[in-house]
Amino acid sequence: MQLRCFDPDCAAKLDLHSPALACPKCDGLLEVDVEFPSVDASALKTLWSERRMSRDPRDISGVWRYREFLPAYPANEIVTIGEGNTPLVRGHRTASFAGVANLQFKHLGWNPTGCFKDLGMTVGMTEAVHTGAKVVACASTGNTAASLAAYAARAGLVGRVYLPAGQVSLNKLAQALDFGAEIVEIEGSFDDALNTLLEKTNEGIYFLNSINPFRIEGQKTTMFELLDQLDWKVPDYLVVPGGNLGNSAAFGKAFDELLRYGFIDKLPRMIVVQAAGANPFAQLWRDGADELSPVTEPETVATAIRIGNPRSWKKSLRGVRHTGGQVLDVTDEEIAAAKAVIGRDGIGCEPASAATLAGIRKLRVSNQIPEGASIVAILTGHALKDTNFIIKSQQRELAHAH
């Protein structure tokens, strides 16, 4: 395996463990090049299934179980805390709320730190260890910070997180503190925090933001585990919340590889749902534009996707187009209503995750999804990630009732 530039017109190749954050030729995104002469898909499906009976920490991890499609590391370098293995949960009230018959949630919020970020962080942190890093850093709206802090602590590295001051849920901040991360507050938005961090990359810090190609590889395994759970029967639709677009980028790459090597014979339509106040990708889709115009002051109650300048939009767009999917946005009111129903279904999630259900309802109302379609929605964060939002919503409801 090696790193390659994502831009097919450039296609520069780099050593797999090169520390570059972007293509040295064109400054474009990098990705891990997974090329095999041949793959026995049926044998691998059986092997992955059998690994669920194993006590090897790599087999217990829902990421490293699929390690044939990940960069190879010595077993003692792998930083894992049992991430992945998240269940598929059928929606009942949620399905009738959205007007669909066959809705399941893949709840990535049931990972070690309560968020999908752990799936990428286990691979990114392992790469950091492998390359001899001492300090790892990220800019974050909170979830990445909590995940980086946990995995850095496990690896014995210094974790440093750049957060937009006053815009991070206290639950996430508390997690980062609990895991012993150094916290640097930046005045401004997530995008400002990221820019501040990018200026520091020549100071010997290993950068673990979502453009890190190793994190994308870990997140990619979500689709391996999902299809494994579905006995490799591909759902009609996959619905994903869209913030920095790392997840949809990773899922698009997973579909590409699974189709190419014969694990599946069709693709689910991938639908990305953004919050209306932080919707540059939905705007691009509506306008049919070729370039993303950032939203300069993103605003939404779904803080995990309050991002105005998503870095991975080109990769995400490739996946959406390749699968015949689409991009849309939903309002904060629609997100809050959907979140409440997910809670009443006994599932629960953070506000950003509920954008998926709001999006499904919107597409169903406008008849863009058939009632009987099989739909999997990705929930990215646990309900306890933003308790303030829940308490405030309940207080508002009580105030209305009296």
* Residues at the interface with Zn ion (CB under 5 A): 5, 7, 10, 12, 23, 25-26, 28
CA distance 294 to 298: 9
Q: Which of 221, 244, 259, 234 shows the shortest CA–CA distance to 108?
A: 221
Cβ nearer to Zn ion, comparing 23 with 161: 23
Nearest distance from C-beta of residue 27 to Zn ion, angstroms: 7
Q: Which of 191, 230, 236 shows the shortest CA–CA distance to 211?
A: 191
**Beta strand segments in 221-296, E:** 237-241, 269-275
Q: Which of 372, 265, 123, 319 shows the shortest CA–CA distance to 136?
A: 123
Residues 280/281/283/287 CA torsion (nearest 10 deg)? 130
Distance of alpha carbon 399 from the chain centroid = 36
Cβ nearer to Zn ion, comparing 12 with 184: 12
User: Which pair of tokens denotes residue 353?
Assistant: 């995750």
Cβ nearer to Zn ion, comparing 18 with 387: 18
Residues 381/109, Cβ–Cβ less than 8 Å: yes
Cβ nearer to Zn ion, comparing 26 with 337: 26
Nearest distance from C-beta of residue 303 to Zn ion, angstroms: 33
CA distance 261 to 235: 19
User: Which pair of tokens denotes residue 255?
Assistant: 């579909």
Nearest distance from C-beta of residue 22 to Zn ion, angstroms: 8
Cβ nearer to Zn ion, comparing 27 with 50: 27
User: Which pair of tokens denotes residue 123?
Assistant: 């691979």
Nearest distance from C-beta of residue 25 to Zn ion, angstroms: 4
Cβ nearer to Zn ion, comparing 7 with 59: 7
Distance (Å) of CA 269 to CA 104, 114, 354: 15, 26, 19
Nearest distance from C-beta of residue 3 to Zn ion, angstroms: 10
- Give SS3 for 328: strand
Nearest distance from C-beta of residue 284 to Zn ion, angstroms: 21
Cβ nearer to Zn ion, comparing 5 with 136: 5
User: Which pair of tokens denotes residue 145?
Assistant: 């910070």
Cβ nearer to Zn ion, comparing 26 with 390: 26
Nearest distance from C-beta of residue 325 to Zn ion, angstroms: 26
Nearest distance from C-beta of residue 6 to Zn ion, angstroms: 8
CA distance 106 to 121: 19
